[in-house]
Amino acid sequence: MEKFIVKETQNNMRLDKVLVAFMSDKSRNYISKLIDDGKCFVNDKVAKASLKVKPEDVISIDIPEDKPLDVKGEDIPLNIIYEDEDILIIDKQQGLVVHPSNGHWEHTLVNAIMHHCKDLSAINGVIRPGIVHRIDKDTSGLICVAKNDVAHNFLAEQLKDHTMSRTYVALVRGVIKENHGTINMPIGRDSRNRQKMAVTRNNSKEAITNFDVIKRFANNTLIECHLVTGRTHQIRVHMSYIGYPVEGDPLYGGRNYKKLYDGGQLLTAVKLKLIHPRSKKEMEFETKLPSYFQNIIDNLE
């Protein structure tokens, strides 16, 4: 249990903002979750984030103890683009699940990382150590992993503030006439299929995707997508919604068409730009299209 005394200069400030100032080594998301879980008290009473505090108020916050990482390491090949004492940048292969989940406790990216490196942040718990952001099983490309909690919190703030830039390349079905576009449609869980996401106003969150056309083919378009937000399946949902589903997509691609590729969606994360948590310098990473993707493009030429 950590305790803080509200200062005169913090009079009438929201509780969550005061805690962000006191706990500068923790992210806003982390602090908000502790408050939402009822682990924060003001003058010995459970408090909400919106509470306006007064000088000399005593804030107590119950910080859960770190649990040991219990994911089994596995010798799975990793394409490591960059590594230092704070972060790992990995070019994930298609078909590899990012982290363990119910019914899928092995053969994931996390299992591979645990074999390579034991020192990872525990911010996301014992089954998602180090995972700052995720990409789908059948989406390949760049993903950032935090090796300690300070790095994880710093990177998580960039995701929340949209200062971490992620760029994807996708091959979609249909020929897009516009050279550029922005899709600003909220995404939430599909009410008819809990395995899917959908554009919906019900229990949804803001979702914004920008795209640029790279090249047009007879029946397809190669596009570059820039995520402003990072919702589950965002690019796949948005492109399907406007009538240009990602080729090979088993969930959002539709049924009544001839697939170009049966190995999963033709979507890959090719660029990642971030501020390094220790040096505070901007870093940019880039990877080429994977061979399976490039082969499809070459056959369309």
Burial tier of 52 (Cβ tally within 10 Å: 0-12, 13-18, 19+): exposed
Q: Which candidate in 57, 136, 149, 249 is catalytic? A: 136
The residue type found at 17 is: K
How many whole angstroms from its chain centre is CA 289? 20
The residue type found at 284 is: E
- What 3-state class would DSSP assign to 155? helix
The helix or strand, by DSSP H or E, that contains position 268, with its residue range, turns out to be strand 267-275
> Which of 79, 47, 75 is closest to 61 using CA atoms?
47
Torsion, CA 102, CA 103, CA 109, CA 114, rounded to 10: 80
57-68 CB burial, b ≥16 within 10 A, e <16: bebbbeeeeeee
Contacting residues for 136 by C-beta, under 8 A, at least 6 apart: 233, 236, 265, 267
136 in catalytic set: yes
The residue type found at 126 is: V
- Residues 170, 173: Cα–Cα separation, whole Å: 10
Catalytic residues: 136
